[in-house]
Amino acid sequence: MEKLMQMAKECKDTNYGMENPQCEIYQKYSLETEEGRAFYEQIEDEALLQILKEKAEEFGRSPSQKEIFWVWRDYIKERFQKWPYALQAAGLSKAAGKGGKPLAKVRKEQEEYQMLLSEVRNKAKDLCRIPHPQEMPELSNQIAKYASNWGQVILEAGIDEEFFQKYAVYKVEDLEEADRQELAVVQEIARQLHRAPFKQELPEKTKKRLIEKFGSYRNALYQIGMEPSKQRHSFSGIELGKEMKEDVKHHQRDFRHCYYKVLNRDSQIEKDLETLYKIWKETGKMPDRKKVEPELRKRLQQSCGSWANALYQLYDRVEK
């Protein structure tokens, strides 16, 4: 690695040896040779990204492909598919070359974006749920410079179930008998639905009392070992920086479009999920719906609401 870096530094021509099979550099490092391919496989992503970062520091902007020594250039393109993808992964502007955005401006924009994401996280903590961009209109317009939709913002802000477990839920000890009864209502509805109920599926009186007592519906569910359903691709259809209409998309209330834990599983569901888990163990990846036995697929889609949610049931096992 160090030897190649030194050679790349000394070569004024970034294409030196690229098309010469007799050249030592080509023989040892080209992706067209067995030795070069083996060398490439040993290099981690961060090492390749560091090359881009160092060149960006040197130029004060994102480097173009022709400004990077050909071996590194080939490695980076092989690993990240496209040059802009690699620049983005390195935290650089995708606009490269002499006409690209100055590095100082890129860093200033990154700092501003992180500050805006922090505001979104704080709002999520206060609400104990994912905020809608309509609840933060000024920020929504500001953040439109950095993200194409609200779903991207939520993803990059790190607002997921782990986030809420850390910041939005806590155990309440001083429960009254009325509190326990209201929680029992939720448990009974969950038993019937085989999932945690949506807030809108609760009796109005129960919903109001739970939120008053526990601060949020999410925290009420936490008291009985449940968590709310999660919309798939939450708010990805909401574009930013555009005037919002009154008929905006709210959180999805159709369980078929959500991820949720299936409760009160019978023996057949457990058996079917165990079959999926074995497929994952054998192949090293989540089972493809089209390659699973039709009857198994049909049962799982019915018992879990969707194929995507059937796979969601495996995550606890996979993470272990």
53-103 tens-digit pLDDT: 999 999 999 999 999 999 999 999 999 999 999 998 998 988 888 878 888
Residues of the chain with pLDDT under 70: 233-234, 236-237, 241-253, 318-320
In angstroms, how far is CA 96 from the centroid of its own chain?
26
150 and 130 Cβ atoms separated by less than 8 Å: no
Output the pLDDT for position 174: 87
211 and 200 Cβ atoms separated by less than 8 Å: no
Which residue type, as a one-letter code, is found at position 145?
K
**CA–CA gap between residue 154 and residue 152 (Å, rounded):** 5
- pTM score: 0.68
Cα–Cα distance list, 129 to 224, 231, 237 (Å): 18, 12, 18
Output the pLDDT for position 99: 77
78 and 48 Cβ atoms separated by less than 8 Å: no
Long-range contacts (CB closer than 8 Å, 24 or more residues apart) made by 310-315? 310/272, 310/273, 310/276, 311/276, 311/286, 311/287, 312/259, 312/260, 312/261, 313/261, 313/262, 313/273, 313/276, 314/273, 314/276, 314/277, 314/280, 314/286
Within 10 A of 103 (CB to CB), how many other CB atoms are there? 18
Output the pLDDT for position 232: 79
229 and 196 Cβ atoms separated by less than 8 Å: yes
Output the pLDDT for position 128: 87
